């Protein structure tokens, strides 16, 4: 399993609902967490590992030993979001070394299914809410560069251009 980098089309593709809650899904989730920790990430969505399904994982602590903080969401749906928003800096494993400011809802209520397919509701706040919104965007084929402030976007314009050139060079080699 490897991280898919921008501008790979799999990051923009449509994602299918998770419909089999089996051993293979559990294995995929474990591999995603391991890859996420190895890259010092706090969240990872399935399209970022080339799987176009509605699955995301995160651990706001980023600590591989803190399994209690691991959250797995299959087929997440946003039920409500706070009116309050906050601006903060984000990164993304599909955009190594690129950072930018993104506005996110301060808190959010979601419904999702766990690894066994059981539906549950969850309220997330602050940092956890931010990570969720970033990863959930991936599920919708949306990327943090689409939501960055114009000032941040201007600062990373060249980095994005380089990534597109590198991707094109790899594709043609």
Q: Which residues are catalytic?
A: 135
Least distance (Å) between residue 17 CB and Co ion: 20
φ/ψ of 136, rounded to 5, equals: -65, -35
φ/ψ of 119, rounded to 5, equals: -80, 140
Q: Which region among 14-22, 59-67, 92-100, 121-129 touches Co ion (by CB under 5 A)?
A: 92-100
Q: Which region among 21-29, 89-97, 109-117, 164-172 touches Co ion (by CB under 5 A)?
A: 89-97
Q: How far is CA 126 from CA 42, 48, 75, 83, 132, in A?
A: 14, 23, 22, 13, 10
Question: How far, in Å, CA of 101 to CA of 6, rounded?
Answer: 18
Nearer to Co ion, 21 or 155 (CB): 155
Residue 76: strand, helix, or coil: strand
Nearer to Co ion, 1 or 120 (CB): 1
Q: Which region among 6-14, 57-65, 70-78, 91-99 touches Co ion (by CB under 5 A)?
A: 91-99
Are 18 and 55 contacting, i.e. CB atoms less than 8 angstroms apart? yes
Least distance (Å) between residue 160 CB and Co ion: 14
Closest residue to bound Co ion by CB: 92
Nearer to Co ion, 39 or 116 (CB): 39
92 forms part of the interface with Co ion (CB under 5 A): yes
Nearer to Co ion, 117 or 140 (CB): 140
Which of 120, 103, 102 shows the shortest CA–CA distance to 111? Answer: 120
Point out which residues bind Co ion (CB under 5 A).
92
């Amino acid at each position: 399993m490897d991280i898919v980098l921008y501008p790979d089309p799999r990051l923009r593709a449509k994602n299918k609902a998770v419909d089999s809650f089996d051993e293979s899904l559990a294995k995929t989730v474990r591999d995603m967490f391991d890859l996420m920790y190895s890259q010092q990430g706090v969240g990872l969505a399935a399209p970022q590992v080339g799987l176009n399904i509605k699955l995301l994982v995160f651990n706001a602590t980023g600590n591989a030993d803190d399994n209690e903080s691991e959250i797995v969401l299959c087929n997440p749906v946003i039920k409500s979001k706070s009116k309050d928003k906050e601006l903060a800096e984000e990164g993304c494993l599909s955009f190594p070394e690129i950072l930018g400011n993104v506005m996110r809802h301060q808190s959010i209520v979601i419904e999702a299914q766990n690894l066994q397919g059981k539906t549950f509701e969850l309220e997330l706040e602050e940092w956890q809410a931010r990570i969720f919104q970033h990863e959930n965007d991936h599920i919708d084929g949306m990327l943090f560069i689409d939501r960055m402030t114009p000032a941040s976007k201007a600062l990373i314009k060249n980095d994005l251009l380089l990534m597109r050139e590198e991707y094109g060079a790899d594709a043609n080699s």
